[in-house]
Amino acid sequence: MAKQADPVRIRLPRGWPQSVKSAMLRVISLAQFSMAYTRGWAVNSPVARLRLKTENDQLKQDLALLKEEIRIKDARMNRIDPHKRPHYAPTERLSILELRAARAWSVRQTAQAFQVTAATIASWIKRVDDQGLNALVQIREPVNKLPGFVRYAVQRLKTLCPTLGKVKIADMLCRAGLHLGATTVRRILKEPPHPKPSVAAVASDRVVTAKRPNHVWHIDLTTVPTAGGFWASWLPFALPQCWPFCWWLAVVIDHCSRRAIAFAVFPKRPNSLGVRTFLGMTMARLNTIPKYLICDKDSIFWCEAFERWCQRKGIRPRYGAVGKHGSIAVVERFIRTMKDEATRRIRILQRRARFRAQIDSFFVWYNEHRPHATLEGETPNEVYFRLRPANHRPRIEPRKRWPRSAPCAAPQTLIAGQPGDRFTLQIDFQNGKRHLPIVSLKRAA
């Protein structure tokens, strides 16, 4: 009878128990690296079933990670005695009851989900219609003389579009016909003011001033990470900056109107020829050539080939100062807005065509519906095409005793209809994307 072979033994390094936790982090990062690479290949497959399988797999992974995150937070709360846990605010209790109705939960399921007793939920339901300042369940109370439905409309807009700030909410409602000051919106939302970061002015004897649309353009490049991200727990602490870990995005902005002119998507860092081709196609499509082109001193722009190309086109390139904050602030601020309000909400790997559609939807929404603070609440398209601003149209006045001759929040406009008219808040979304809201108001009959 053959002798059974001894099992293979792997010799472990000395002191290996001390490195187990670090090894676990590296294994998880390596697994994420491999999954991102595999999904990047599969998402570009011509087989539709394989693409759907990849998206389904990514969504399942996100759901599992969210469940683990909630489990960790619940474990921390469960270690606190139920009588010592912080109480929910009256407005949060109403939100819990609304979620219970939407999920069709029982009283016990709701209590388990929010870590309270079933008797507490039953008490909220029994006293849901109580009135007064001491009511157990409340809708957010107004802190000024505006009617309650105005407060509710502002707060619902913030709930449905959490990325909007007080100034942006005031500008959007102003364009829709309801004129509120930014401080009024802040009081309604009961949030502390956020100081606006100051942009240091760059001293220069040669100042370029945009006198009309298409007079001065800005161009810059940025990276948009996919679900794989950039970080890994080993040297060089970053994944390769190319597809499937990120997209390279080139954007062109008009300085006068702040209009997003065009964009191009690249799977890896483009060279100077690729950027010049993109600019040439943009100029041919718009049938215009800017006088100045502002960019940074990247090797793509800071080269003889790019300068010769600009000279042939009759363009004067202007370069931002190296290490100076604010030298190309216009395009940098646009890129930050695009990432905060669009690309950071793309959580799964996407094919180039679908990613381009996402960026194109944001460009259309940004130019047509998003008010710009620098343009005094107007949109880039209104300035670019010289259209009448929506915030200069007759406004809605919800206060019944408000005199027509009294001043309102800027800009000053006439009242449409009668003071005290009620309205309904309507929120649409650009191409069905909930992070791109389109706000409108209609007077109630």
pLDDT tens series, the chain, 445 aa: 455 556 656 666 666 676 777 777 777 888 888 888 888 888 888 888 888 888 888 888 888 888 888 888 888 888 888 777 888 888 888 888 888 888 788 888 888 888 888 888 888 888 888 887 778 888 765 434 677 777 788 888 888 788 788 888 888 888 888 888 888 888 888 743 333 333 333 333 456 778 899 999 999 999 888 766 665 545 555 567 887 778 899 999 999 999 999 999 999 999 999 999 999 999 999 999 999 999 988 889 989 999 999 999 999 999 886 655 556 889 999 999 998 888 876 666 678 888 899 899 999 999 999 999 888 889 999 999 999 998 888 888 888 887 777 777 778 888 888 888 888 888 898 888 888 899 888 877 6
Q: How far, in Å, CA of 390 to CA of 172, rounded?
A: 9
The pLDDT of residue 93 is 86
Contact 11, 321 (CB under 8 A): no
Q: How far apart are CA 246 and CA 345, in angstroms?
A: 14
What pLDDT, on a 0 to 100 scale, did the predictor assign at position 195?
35
Tell me, which fold does domain 216-368 have in CATH? Nucleotidyltransferase; domain 5 (3.30.420)
Identify the pLDDT of residue 196. Answer: 35
Listed by start position, the domains of the chain span 83-126, 142-193+393-445, 216-368
Residues 6+ apart with CB under 8 A from 172: 157, 164, 371, 437, 439
Q: Is 250 exposed, middle or buried (0-12, 13-18, 19+ CB in 10 A)?
A: buried
Burial grade of 53 (CB within 10 A; 0-12, 13-18, 19 or more): middle
Torsion 98-439-173-189 (CA) sign: positive
Contact 335/251 with Cβ under 8 angstroms?
Answer: yes
Closest residue by Cα to residue 116 from 107, 129, 127, 105: 107
Of 293, 310, 199, 308, residue with least CA distance to 255: 293
